[in-house]
Chains A and B, each alone.
Chain A
Amino acid sequence: MAVLLISLVALTLIKATPLIYAALGGVISERSGVINIGLEGMMAIGAFAAVVISYYTREPALGILAGIGAGALGGYVLGIAATRFKVDQIVAGTGINLICAGGAAYGLVLIYNQPGASAQVPALGREYWVLVALAFVAAAALHWLLARTPWGLRIRACGENPAALASAGIDPLAMRVYAVTLSGALAGLGGAFLSLGELNLYSDGMTAGRGFIALAAVIFGRWNPLGATFACIAFGLFEALQYVLQGRIAWLPADAMQALPYIAALVALAGITGKVRAPAADGVPY
């Protein structure tokens, strides 16, 4: 029983980690006023880029950096689309999701001559616990940065009333591009953790909606980094449960167990609708 409990806790933390990175990205983006629907795609492209670079360099650490860079690039594209070109944020983010998933699928064929999955590449091994710990450090740090620094104050003002920021002499559009880029970098890191931390390859659809779960965690956590992290741990627990309980509850089909995190996200969101307040200018172009 004790062994089971320890493995449940460990698995929960591991499963929560990519969600936390993506959710922190979502918090930054939304606090600056951009809804980042593209988190899912940024995770995917981060996971893919990490595998490719690790494949060529045989250095998983470089792969992780590549994942961060690829996610940041996705974020930058969304940021520019949502600000300079005033594309609807939801449409642009959905576009990012499609391009990233499609790009990675095409890349698999180009690089590995096979659809569906990459070859196995050097992965992180035990070092991935550093990234698990770092996720929690990042959550605390982001909380502090948002609450206590000029940077955080400006991000918050930007998501509430960009005109106020503009009249203080700061360009809200530049602020948003910057925030969404950072958001993408974090989502990319989450994706890289999936492909090089938990696994050692990229396969199509491996992010499996985690970007959207992270978005749910942002809302459930009331746009607060610590709240979002807590929500991610809860969703991670449901994901971990399916592994721990597999084969132990005979009457519950495996498919139903796999659906647990998604059902949990849905129930959580339905439960808090109307009780939370998004940043006033969240999703509103400036």
Chain B
Amino acid sequence: MPEPALVLRGIRKAYPGVVAVDDAHLELYPGEIHALVGENGAGKSTLSAIAYGETRADAGTVRASGTVGLVHQHFELVGRLRVWENVLLGREPRRGWRIDEAAARSRVLAVAERNGLAIDPNAFVETLPIGVQQRVELLRELDREPAVLLLDEPTAALAPAEIASFFATVQGLAARGAAIMIVTHKLQEVIAYATRVSVMRHGRIVAQMETAATSVDEIARAMVGGELPSVAARAATQPTPCLSVRALRAGSGETSVEDIALDVRAGEIVGIAGVEGNGQTTLADAIAGMIPYDGTISFANEGAQIGVIPQDRHREALVMPWSIVENVMLGRQHRPELRRGATLDRAHARADAQRIQERFDVRAATLDVPVRTLSGGNQQKIVVGRALIDDPNVVLAYNPTRGIDVGAAALVQSRLMQARNDGAAVLLISFELDEILALADRIAVMYRGRIVGEFERTNVDRGAIGRLMAGLS
């Protein structure tokens, strides 16, 4: 066995009211790709921040054989700077007072070439697709020749094809002797690309396995510490027309949509597959009535109610300093049952919040704590619970399980399926093809603002969908 590149021993880190990491041991070896998995709030991010040196542990030791690099989930790039400027920021090659731009460019190209990454060092980062931006973030770390590279949710925003090429790069790095740790929610990727996996639960590392000798199910059970809630069964329904979109045109520039025709019937889930940035946000905003559009969006029954699960729970769905009760009222405050004369009926709102807490297993000390203090999974449960509580005719779900753990995700998916079984028309927009394949009765693929293909559940062709998502026909 070679010397480990990174050794974490007895790491403990407590924040007021919560022990984030508790007596964690981990060794990373040169050449391995080690996955770190766990539910939201299990302590993965804290542990990687400690390994990186960003956060100080209360107890325990960190020993690394060389530089430790970290690729953030939310890229820390400057959009209006060029690729080479981003990569070499803080380590600019100089000639006298000025930056030696020729040397900078060739250095970036050399690092890119060594790692098999295609990049134009002169491009402005904001003009690049997400997958290429990630390459820039990766290059910035690679330029420092790290012995250990930590990757936080690296594939969260990537298309299937980008994911494959990303892992090819990572495997090349590992083959040249780097120790790599990937923090992720995607268990299929763990099995496919990692060599070992460590599972965290409640701040501890509770299991460590060779990926060759385990399965997605086994990892998931270790994460939740028991059996996973299973997604509700798909009941037979009699779909009837409900939401119909015709000749829709909205938005401008890269994210505009054009010539969209779409039907979502009561009692079915229609999934919109596509890579981020192909007009999904514009489509969702138009249907939710938030932006002007040309064409028609019509509902079969008069006064149809629409429940919206926006994609960004922090910016679009919740007011973080407000309590659970207040957030459950938000957007529904005009409903007669929530009014008492000119004022709000807080007792009713509290009852609603309680119902959501029970149906969705929201883990919070009380209903009066600010939603800011809850984990991402619990916040999302509130968002989904609020969208479904008034039994809407139409449900618009945009990445309803993004960035939440498998347990919470299974619950959210289950509730969406139940809404469908109860006769709601569900439009599911998701960047996770697996989620769409699991839930949708029909699938439409979006590319560059248009719907480029449609599939029935009975004749789904995963490869064909992947090709359409990438713009190949």
Contacts and interface: CB of A to CB of B under 8 A. Distances in A.
A160 B90 contact: no
B99 A161 contact: no
A168 interface: yes
Interface of B is mostly: loop
B85 interface: yes
A164 interface: yes
A160 B76 contact: no
A157 B87 CA distance: 12
A87 interface: no
A263 interface: no
A257 interface: no
B77 A149 contact: no
B263 interface: no
A273 interface: no
A280 B126 CA distance: 12
A219 B79 CA distance: 20
Interface in B246-299: none
A212 B70 CA distance: 43
B77 A153 contact: no
A150 B72 contact: no
A167 B70 CA distance: 9
Interface in B67-94: 70, 72, 76-81, 85-86, 89-92, 94
A153 B79 contact: no
B76 A167 contact: yes
B98 interface: yes
A164 B86 contact: yes
Contact of A153 (B72, B92, B140): B92
A279 B81 CA distance: 11
Q: Which of A154, A163, A168 gathers the greatest number of chain B CB atoms within 10 Å?
A: A168
B81 A157 contact: yes
A82 interface: no
B92 A164 contact: no
Contact of B80 (A149, A160, A169): A160
B15 interface: no
A168 B80 contact: no
B72 A148 contact: no
18 contacts: A149-B99, A150-B99, A153-B92, A154-B89, A156-B81, A157-B78, A160-B79, A161-B76, A161-B78, A165-B89, A167-B70, A167-B72, A168-B89, A168-B91, A169-B90, A170-B89, A170-B90, A279-B80
Interface of A: 148-150, 153-154, 156-157, 160-161, 163-170, 279-280
Interface of B: 70, 72, 76-81, 85-86, 89-92, 94, 97-99, 140
